[in-house]
Structure 1
Amino acid sequence: MKLSNRILSMGLGAALFSLPACSAGMAGAMGGSMDAFSDANVAASASSSNMDEIQTSQLAVQRAQNPQVRQFAEMMVSQHGQFESEMNAMLQAKGMAPMDNAWSGTLKRHLPPTLQMLQSMQGAQFDLAYMVHQVGAHEMTLHALDTTLIPNTRDPEMAAMLRDRVRPAVADHHQRAMQIVAMLRAGS
């Protein structure tokens, strides 16, 4: 089996990012009740997602071989960094601090092994693994935004930011990541 097919056959499993584990973590964080997920939980979850995107993309800026992968990584660092800064400023102005929950904790626990795995790769193998991770991470974030984060945000300013700016950007990132994965697969 070719290396690229072997990496893709791993899909979004535990080696790169475990969507089922994160979904279970999100359900656990909500404790079975939509009311249990506060704005502080939403903020922590959004921040954890941003940190995954920023840190894996910082690595990709340094290691990506393919120019499109490097450009994508630069965009991730810039845009997710901007969202993180804006969210932190908004929280500070409101006197609110992010409050970790099962889902944000799951994201944080998955980041070090993901970074370690990516650091062990180079060249085309790295590019494909990074982009596959981006597809899965953005897919998971879209799901979280639609089912948990936006519906449970009570603060109107935070809800508007997530709905009107963050969600469209994440959907665009997801689409671009899928296109790059397809391009990388076609080239192998």
Structure 2
Amino acid sequence: MDSRVAGVLAEGCQKLTSEASVALRRAQNPEVIRLAESIYLDCSSYLMNQRALVETLGLRPGESAVQSRIQASAPAGISELSSQALSDFDRTFVERMVADQNEILGLAEGTLLPTTNHSELKALIEVQFNPNMRRNLATARQLQTDLREQERRNRSGV
């Protein structure tokens, strides 16, 4: 089961890293750029640490329906972000980050962590993955609120 846990979280991080890479090229709002940088760095660091741990533990890569679903959804997200008008990009990226991180964090905390057997993998998730994901999700939610408020003010001419 731990190989599936690692696979799902790795796939989720790879998806977030790919989407953050697009944002680093296209985002205009400095706060959105900082969010993309944070997601990219946090996920890259987690992936590196997880790969080393999986190798140390001798886990074999495991596939799951959840991992396959995340993997299958990644190209559409990247395509949407890549083709988004620059005027809508920041809002679209932040909305996607709220949805994607909420889903991945929900899986990690609600389904994957309780089924993790290796204490080292559990610790990596509890100490690195979940806190970073929670922090980035909170930032994305605040940005989502701020961007909506800014959009509302722009429409009303305030």
TM-score of the alignment, normalized to the shorter chain, above 0.5: yes
Cα shift readout 1:34-53 (whole Å, capped 9, x = no counterpart): xxxx0010010000110111
Match of 1:63 in 2: 26
Does the 8 Å CA contact 1:64/1:127 hold for their aligned counterparts?
A: yes
For normalisation by structure 2, the TM-score amounts to 0.92
Match of 1:157 in 2: 120
Cα shift readout 1:132-158 (whole Å, capped 9, x = no counterpart): 010011111121112211001000000
- Point out where structure 2 has 5 or more consecutive residues left out of the alignment: 152-158
After the TM superposition, which parts of structure 1 deviate over 3 Å for at least 4 consecutive aligned residues?
A: none
Q: Which amino acid aligns with 1:54?
A: T
Deviation at 1:167, TM superposition (A): 0.9
Cα shift readout 1:69-109 (whole Å, capped 9, x = no counterpart): 01110111111000000000001112213211000000000
Deviation at 1:124, TM superposition (A): 3.3
1:39-188 equivalences under 5 Å are: 39-188=2-151
Tell me how far apart the structure 2 counterparts of residues 181 and 97 of structure 1 sit (CA, whole Å). 39
Deviation at 1:165, TM superposition (A): 2.0
Q: Which protein is richer in helix relative to its size?
A: 2
Tell me how far apart the structure 1 counterparts of residues 89 and 61 of structure 2 sit (CA, whole Å). 32
Among the aligned pairs, what percent are the same residue?
23
Tell me how far apart the structure 1 counterparts of residues 61 and 147 of structure 2 sit (CA, whole Å). 37
For normalisation by structure 1, the TM-score amounts to 0.78
Tell me how far apart the structure 2 counterparts of residues 125 and 147 of structure 1 sit (CA, whole Å). 33
3-state DSSP class of the match of 2:147? Answer: helix
Deviation at 1:181, TM superposition (A): 0.8
- Point out where structure 1 has 5 or more consecutive residues left out of the alignment: 1-37
Tell me how far apart the structure 2 counterparts of residues 55 and 41 of structure 1 sit (CA, whole Å). 21
Tell me how far apart the structure 1 counterparts of residues 37 and 51 of structure 2 sit (CA, whole Å). 21
- Give the paired residue count: 151
